[in-house]
């Protein structure tokens, strides 16, 4: 896990975290609200929220929001680890689907172009 500096703790407030979550989407904001309510110590909640914000360096806001939505559909206790797992699964699935689509498109482009007459078939 990343080292969080004292300055980051002083700048980051629960209100700031909720605003960031709202800028991503309603499901992300709901996850952040849950984290703030779930942890007894605010510092622990903020550490989890930092981990969630760190995902924004690698993944788009849409991917984060979709992962938060899917995790909230599955469980009443959305935790950052489950969101990380979900977002990786979504990313891997989309990559595999894109690869399959490219293969299918490449196969379609290499169809027989000379026609049946060239191979001795009917004209």
CA distances from 80 to 45, 49, 107 (A): 10, 8, 41
What string of DSSP letters covers the chain? -----HHHHHH--HHHHHHHHHHH-HHHHHHHHHHHHH-SSHHHHHHHHHHHHHGGGTS-HHHHHHHHHHHHHH-SS--HHHHHHHHHHHHHHHHHHHHHHHHHHHHHHTS--S-TTTTT---
Q: Which pLDDT score, from 0 to 100, does residue 1 have?
A: 45
Q: Tell me the pLDDT of the chain (123 aa) as tens digits.
A: 455 566 665 668 999 999 999 999 999 999 999 999 999 999 999 999 999 999 999 999 999 999 999 999 999 999 999 999 999 998 888 888 888 888 877 766 655 566 667 667 665
Query: Is residue 47 one of the residues assigned to a domain?
Result: yes
The total number of structural domains that make up the chain: 1
Q: Which pLDDT score, from 0 to 100, does residue 120 have?
A: 73
Query: Is residue 123 one of the residues assigned to a domain?
Result: no
Query: Is residue 100 one of the residues assigned to a domain?
Result: yes
**Structural tokens at position 49:** 């929220």
Query: Is residue 1 one of the residues assigned to a domain?
Result: no
Q: Which pLDDT score, from 0 to 100, does residue 15 have?
A: 94
Q: Which pLDDT score, from 0 to 100, does residue 110 have?
A: 58
Range(s) of the domain holding residue 53 = 6-108
Q: Is the pTM of this model over 0.85?
A: no
Query: Is residue 54 one of the residues assigned to a domain?
Result: yes
Query: Is residue 119 one of the residues assigned to a domain?
Result: no
Q: Which pLDDT score, from 0 to 100, does residue 52 have?
A: 94
Q: Is 61 left (phi over 0), alpha (psi -120 to 50) or beta?
A: alpha
Query: Is residue 113 one of the residues assigned to a domain?
Result: no
Query: Is residue 118 one of the residues assigned to a domain?
Result: no
């Amino acid at each position: 896990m990343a080292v969080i500096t004292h300055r980051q703790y002083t700048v980051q407030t629960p209100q700031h975290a909720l605003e960031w979550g709202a800028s991503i989407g309603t499901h992300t904001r709901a996850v952040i609200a849950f984290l703030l309510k779930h942890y007894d110590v605010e510092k622990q909640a903020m550490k989890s929220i930092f981990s969630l914000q760190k995902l924004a360096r690698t993944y788009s806001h849409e991917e984060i929001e979709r992962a938060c939505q899917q995790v909230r559909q599955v469980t009443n206790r959305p935790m950052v680890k489950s969101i990380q797992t979900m977002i990786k699964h979504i990313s891997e699935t989309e990559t595999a689907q894109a690869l399959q689509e490219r293969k299918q498109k490449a196969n379609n482009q290499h169809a027989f172009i000379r026609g049946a007459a060239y191979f001795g078939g009917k004209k």
